[in-house]
Amino acid sequence: MYSTTKNIADNKMSKMLLFLLLLLFSSEYFAQNTVKIRMPKGRIAFTSDGNLHDSDDWGATAFSLAFIHYAGLEKRFVHYDYNNHIGKSRASWEKIMDDAAKGGAKRFGLDVTKVFNNQTAQKAAILNFVKEAKKSSKKNPLWFICAGPMHTAYNLIKATPKEKRKYIHAISHSKWNEEHSHGATKMTWAAMKKDFPTVVYHDIIDQNKSNGEDDFQSHIKNWQWLKESKNPNWQWLYNIDDTYQVDKLERWKSNTEKHFDISDAGMTFWLITGGPNGGNDKAGWKEVKALFTNQPIEDNNPTPEIKLTANDYIFIEAENTHSKLQDWNLIKYGDSNYVAKASGFSYLEFNGNQIDSGKPNSPLEYTFTAPKEGNFRLLLMSNKPLEEDSADCCNDAYVKMAGNFNSATNLSKNDLENYIKFSLEISEKTSERRWYWVQSARKGKNISYNLIYQFKKGETYTLSLVGKSKYFSVDYLVFYNSDKLSLRDAKEFFSVNKK
């Protein structure tokens, strides 16, 4: 009797465990195909135009506010100023932006008192931005999306206390916005970097055609689901875009029957999906629909497999150096401090200096021949070894390049020929003992740069990797053809193809 009852109980338990496992795997499957909200810690501020030149800002503003709502980040929204083209403006466009910004905030449950028209409330906008900047800290930074000419963004930062600027992350994706100087608008993105060097700058790819026909600027047919829905707010989003109205005073050609453009909203999507920690900079209508409906991303036209030839990249295992290791230790599978899933089951760990500082120490040299002429970006695979209070521990090394190359980034060749910090961007909450990409160089005070080298086919180059902070680890190094691969695709490809 006892054994029969036990068998029944065991059978029920087995079925329950099987159900839970199926549920777990099912949830995991769908999680891999839905929009993951991974915004870094901190708050969100915007500046946008829309009152001259850029009618696409009407839709981009409205969609950005909707993204914040559907991501559940309403409490992180602290500032939106718009109509920021100073000196020249159009009253009719200003009214549309009023609807997009203030109307959008109301529709999607955001604080309307944080929304400011620069044509009528510029002083109030500055006061609010300064108030939010003063609240900023390392654990509570201010993410500042710059979606228009930079003159207003410049003035907002200028008004903030100097000691708080290092906690402001300015984001841009548009060369046109960065260099615009029409009317009374004079200050540029370059001027911001020069005059406010402690601000952290993020130059991401432009979301105008960054994802082909599926991105934030694409055919209107991709967005019909908004119009056809029974949700009045989605219908409003469809109609606030400039597909049906482009001012005749503008001289560009626009096919308003086919054109749907909310490209500036791509910066918001990048931020809420991770920002510099793997945010999606190549999203579009499919990701928007998945976010709004909380459903898997449609895959009617699967992204083709990334096909690279041996001439498109250079892959180097960190331990494959002829240099003496000195303060670098070779960590192998089975060692007590080994981090799982290392390429080749081994990697190098630096054990000199302090965990948060140090002068160049124990150089390692990697000599290679460029397989083709082109622009190649450097990435390293590293890990976070310790759960430290500060994210600035164990997270960087120095690199420099020697050979007949040119700079293909906004650093000079001289900068690339001398030691520059190459940092793993992590936080206190980043999981330890897992592998992450090192992708940003630092020069001066917290200004981020990409390391992109213009190589010549057949030329020999030597990269020096030099220890800086204790416990910094390197599994492998990759140079990839940045003209052929986006950063996102490169990370995906080389995380799988470790060879």
pLDDT digits (tens, 9 = 90+) for 212-249: 677 888 888 888 899 898 899 999 898 887 644 554 44
CA distances from 378 to 458, 461, 491 (A): 18, 13, 11
What CATH number was assigned to the domain covering residues 310-496?
A: 2.60.120.260
What CATH number was assigned to the domain covering residues 43-293?
A: 3.90.245
Task: Break the chain into its structural domains and give their ranges.
Answer: 43-293, 310-496
Considering Cα of 155, then 160, then 164, then 169, what sign does the dihedral take? negative
Sheet holding 77-82, edge to edge: 115-117, 77-82, 43-48, 142-147, 168-172, 200-203
pLDDT of residue 189: 80
DSSP per-residue letters across 288-353:
HHHHHHT-PPP-SSPPPPP---GGGEEEEETT--SS--TTEEEEETTSTTPPTT-GGGEEEEE-SS
Nearest to residue 493, comparing CAs of 305, 351, 354? 305
Instruction: Identify any residues that bridge with 79 across adjacent strands, giving them in sequence order.
Output: 45
Helix 91-98 vs helix 56-70: crossing angle, to nearest 10 = 10
With 0.95 as the threshold, say if the pTM is over it: no
- Type of residue found at 485: L
Considering Cα of 203, then 204, then 206, then 207, what sign does the dihedral take? negative
- Type of residue found at 232: P
92 burial type by CB count under 10 A (0-12 exposed, 13-18 middle, 19+ buried): exposed
Q: Average pLDDT per run of 10 along the chain, which is 499 residues long?
A: 41 47 38 77 88 71 91 93 77 77 90 90 93 96 89 91 95 70 71 91 78 76 88 89 52 55 87 91 90 79 65 94 95 91 91 84 96 95 70 81 92 93 71 83 73 96 93 93 81 69
CA terminus-to-terminus distance, the chain: 60
Nearest to residue 170, comparing CAs of 76, 66, 42, 327? 42
- At 316-364, the pLDDT tens digits run 999 999 999 999 999 999 998 899 889 889 999 999 888 877 888 999 9
